[in-house]
Structure 1
């Protein structure tokens, strides 16, 4: 093994055959390009299923509008939450390479089930009957519903694994030891969002049109073909990938440090004196094994003052061997805990984004969806933010970022937290616009005498495009900012899991949307005969009040975010960044 291979092993990277990765041969732009192409296909498959799903459930499976909305948010929430599982397995036991392949096959099986059900009339509920202008629909029975949900949640499991493994797999292709490599990694995250949008553009235009005009079996079939093609495409780049070696369960490290800190807090009141001694002597890994002590000599030699409670895990008081912690482990757990308030602050933003897949689509479905002689499917509304993202992402990467770097004379230019904060501000504006548009839509319904009708209203659906535009812009700033922030701020051994927090935030946002709908209905039903968001006719909903409520919550969340963001200090800047690089070079356990 030559020096380059030894260095690669110390850094924790191998090729797809588990041989040491070589600089110049593995990783770089070429390897990341395969991943970006795969992401286009993967997101096409996912959004071809999800973007129009609310109408499939309500019109073809005969669920109510509110039930359909909750099914969609639960499905998408589960898919994104399972990204944590994909990230955890990638860091712990498997590699990002293996997790992607397993997840893609799982998603393929789910899409096959949905395609077969949509194609087979006997697996769908009976067609609605019209009697005296009243439409009667029989909801899908239990057996058919089981097949529907089995297919959906197999897709969710596959999507979660892909989201948890593919972004960190791409980011790991770049050498973080150099400024050029870190800039390339930042570019990767921007173009990752760009490729997400490319897949979304095809899904919400071509595939949605196919679903509305040719049948859902064709839409699901295209999604199935896309994920099928992505598998050999990903494998084709195998020879160029460098793959991070799994380092064991990060959850175990986190739990170990927390339990050790609590245990030592109860066992001794003399922790502060012990910690002061540790921070100035080579015995800073006291309590660990001799092997861990040797490794600790190449690690950060001081204990930070952040989250001082966790420093008690380093106490010299006799502890069980399995609770003995090194400074490296304690500082890694601190890094994870410090990013959690930022993570929590992004959930409300994603709750707002959930409306784009539910009530916003249903709003557009009640309006005039024609542009000239061309009829636009309501589920194609996301084309507006998608196109905006596709234009803004390259402009942001090649114009705004270089200009801001020169202006601020810093490596990042615009910080990750500033990007996320911009997204939160845009989400507040978007929900206010959504409320105003819904007020206008209902006023038109009332004036035209169609308040009790399901006929299209004489108002263009382009009004709803305004909220899509602002929320799409918020998504661009927040998602790329979150992924890069969590990846760079997390310890090396926990990066896949940390990057998955971006998708977990989306998941919790979708779940929160479902909870808020149920909560609002429960509370409003207590003083009204009819809840705000109940019934089969959207014109009878008080959706504008719900949007104002979301706007207020988003504003309060923005204040919460500012509180934590102003107090956050980046661990991967200046001297701290060089220490992280040194640990990656010298410590064998990473």
Structure 2
């Protein structure tokens, strides 16, 4: 009788190569594969962040939209791109693997930049320059087919960038085997360095690309973006022979919906006291790529979905269940994991609202301040975002190379501190940053008052723009803790089949935070209209006579309350339990 073939310890279950062959642990994945991911992320963010900070100028100065319309158009564009990361994550979890989703999305994004480049280059595709020399100025706003071309280009970029954001972070983390303690430790470093790539690319975009746009023309600037995204694609494709590619397993949203439907159908049944009486698929051959989750006691009502009844199976004597009538314990637990994540996700929205202030009101503050560096150079208004980005570029390697090993000696945790602790530290620092922002604004307004410049809107105040560095530094550290901690938390805790969608939650939090910022500004203006002035804290174009400092302190108070709310949910959170894997006691 022939001996059964022993399994190859280097063959990775559920992973293939780009050619569709089984992936091997000793050949595929690891640090050398993530290098290509970092380069892809850097070049992609270089292009995307450059247009984020400068498109308002393009809309207003070239397309002749009004300032308010320009700002709204940009907000809608960025918000759409961030929200579409969920769609990109869903597609890469369900139908197309994360590598191919990233590449296809990048090509869609590239097509959008090419359209913007083409329109910016040819005068016939954009409105004529404004005529300001005659007795009446003539400024024709973009319309018709030219508007359609502009929005097609913009939203191809939004669709493509959303797809990249949804698939790429989880794809890079897939290059490490979380069942191997040595490889699992490197996942934390991966997310730290991915964040470094994001900030480094954004820094180059907000400086070099913005300079090209302002000094060499918009077509040259968009051409720079086309080149950057092309290099991103080339980098990603160059590493194709080294990747581990996880096989997608079908729609995760359908599995979640099945749990709710089956639980509703079984709502009148009593839940067994012993979890072993609930239905579970025990045959590993059913799906080698699915981790088996152990039962937890939270949301016991959903356990009703795993109660086997007459009619639970599709055919008589058939062991395949009807998914809308009977779900396995693992499927129920996957749903519980996503539900448990939602309060943590919600608690991070406000830090994104605080970030929005650094990209809007903080820039407005900088425009009133002395932006000179030496005698012959001034920081461009659109490049003021370089201040917090520069701090992040410096701090991220320090955190990964110095803080993590130092903290690991005391905590024993592979990432230095747990993911939830990391998020909490970021929330505290964000609160402090908003308090400092209020103090810096008081300082700026006092300088305006002392020099009789409260109404001098076009002359810079004799106070350096680098005063904003205090709040930017603290918020940069907050961002480093919260954003990376959140991405790593979502990846490690999400079910294997839902990881792209889960990591995209961090971008969704950012999007909702920006939208919340607009809502808060309107609420504050309406609530304070008759308290300190006739027009509210933040209305009007004269920042020197507004009450931005009070708004910052309001955000600090809300952030502090949000932190205490977070403490409750972080303590309530129960991490997932995977059968057959020895987890760290404080892994999250």
Which of 231, 239, 249 is the equivalent residue of 2:233? 231
**Is the 1:54–1:357 contact (alpha carbons within 8 Å) kept by the matching residues of 2?**
no
Task: For residue 261 of structure 1, report the CA deviation from its aligned partner.
Answer: 1.8
For the structure 1 residues 563 and 318, does the alpha-carbon distance in structure 2 shift closer, same or farther, using more than 3 Å as the test?
A: same
Which structure has more relative contact order (CA 8 Å, sep 6+)? It is 1
Task: For residue 456 of structure 1, report the CA deviation from its aligned partner.
Answer: 2.9
1:276 partnered with 2:273:
yes
Which of 503, 512, 517 is the equivalent residue of 1:513? 517
Task: For residue 180 of structure 1, report the CA deviation from its aligned partner.
Answer: 0.8
Task: For residue 2 of structure 1, report the CA deviation from its aligned partner.
Answer: 7.7
For the structure 1 residues 118 and 301, does the alpha-carbon distance in structure 2 shift closer, same or farther, using more than 3 Å as the test?
A: closer
The Cα offsets for residues 203-231 of structure 1, whole Å up to 9 and x where unpaired, read as 12212222233333322221111001111
For the structure 1 residues 83 and 303, does the alpha-carbon distance in structure 2 shift closer, same or farther, using more than 3 Å as the test?
A: same
* Matched residue, 1:102: 104
For the structure 1 residues 525 and 8, does the alpha-carbon distance in structure 2 shift closer, same or farther, using more than 3 Å as the test?
A: farther
SS across alignment from 1:21: strand
Task: For residue 48 of structure 1, report the CA deviation from its aligned partner.
Answer: 1.4
* Matched residue, 2:302: 310
Find the aligned partners of 1:367 and 1:509 in 2 and give their Cα distance: 27
**Is the 2:212–2:221 contact (alpha carbons within 8 Å) kept by the matching residues of 1?**
yes
**Is the 1:52–1:379 contact (alpha carbons within 8 Å) kept by the matching residues of 2?**
yes
More helix by share: 1
For the structure 1 residues 326 and 406, does the alpha-carbon distance in structure 2 shift closer, same or farther, using more than 3 Å as the test?
A: same
**Is the 2:196–2:396 contact (alpha carbons within 8 Å) kept by the matching residues of 1?**
yes
Task: For residue 344 of structure 1, report the CA deviation from its aligned partner.
Answer: 0.8
**Is the 1:385–1:468 contact (alpha carbons within 8 Å) kept by the matching residues of 2?**
yes
**Is the 2:130–2:137 contact (alpha carbons within 8 Å) kept by the matching residues of 1?**
no
**Is the 2:46–2:225 contact (alpha carbons within 8 Å) kept by the matching residues of 1?**
yes
SS across alignment from 2:463: strand
For the structure 1 residues 26 and 293, does the alpha-carbon distance in structure 2 shift closer, same or farther, using more than 3 Å as the test?
A: closer
**Is the 2:294–2:577 contact (alpha carbons within 8 Å) kept by the matching residues of 1?**
no
1:285 partnered with 2:279:
yes
Which of 559, 562, 565 is the equivalent residue of 2:567? 562
Task: For residue 251 of structure 1, report the CA deviation from its aligned partner.
Answer: 0.4
Find the aligned partners of 1:352 and 1:70 in 2 and give their Cα distance: 19
Which of 483, 486, 496 is the equivalent residue of 2:487? 483
* Matched residue, 1:585: none
> What is the correspondence of 1:436-585 to structure 2 with a 5 Å cutoff?
436-446=439-449, 447-449=451-453, 451=455, 453-524=457-528, 529-536=534-541, 538-539=543-544, 541-571=546-576, 577-578=581-582
1:140 partnered with 2:134:
no
Residue-pair matches, total:
565
SS across alignment from 1:12: strand
**Is the 2:170–2:503 contact (alpha carbons within 8 Å) kept by the matching residues of 1?**
yes
The Cα offsets for residues 45-76 of structure 1, whole Å up to 9 and x where unpaired, read as 11111123344445555555555444333322
For the structure 1 residues 150 and 438, does the alpha-carbon distance in structure 2 shift closer, same or farther, using more than 3 Å as the test?
A: farther
Task: For residue 414 of structure 1, report the CA deviation from its aligned partner.
Answer: 0.5
SS across alignment from 1:457: coil
- Scaled by the length of structure 2, what TM-score is found? 0.88
The Cα offsets for residues 142-172 of structure 1, whole Å up to 9 and x where unpaired, read as 3344443332222111111001111111000
Task: For residue 174 of structure 1, report the CA deviation from its aligned partner.
Answer: 0.9
Task: For residue 383 of structure 1, report the CA deviation from its aligned partner.
Answer: 2.4
**Is the 1:12–1:244 contact (alpha carbons within 8 Å) kept by the matching residues of 2?**
yes
1:351 partnered with 2:353:
yes
Task: For residue 425 of structure 1, report the CA deviation from its aligned partner.
Answer: 1.1
Task: For residue 432 of structure 1, report the CA deviation from its aligned partner.
Answer: 1.9
For the structure 1 residues 295 and 91, does the alpha-carbon distance in structure 2 shift closer, same or farther, using more than 3 Å as the test?
A: closer
Where structure 1 has 5 or more consecutive residues not aligned to the other structure, the ranges are 581-590
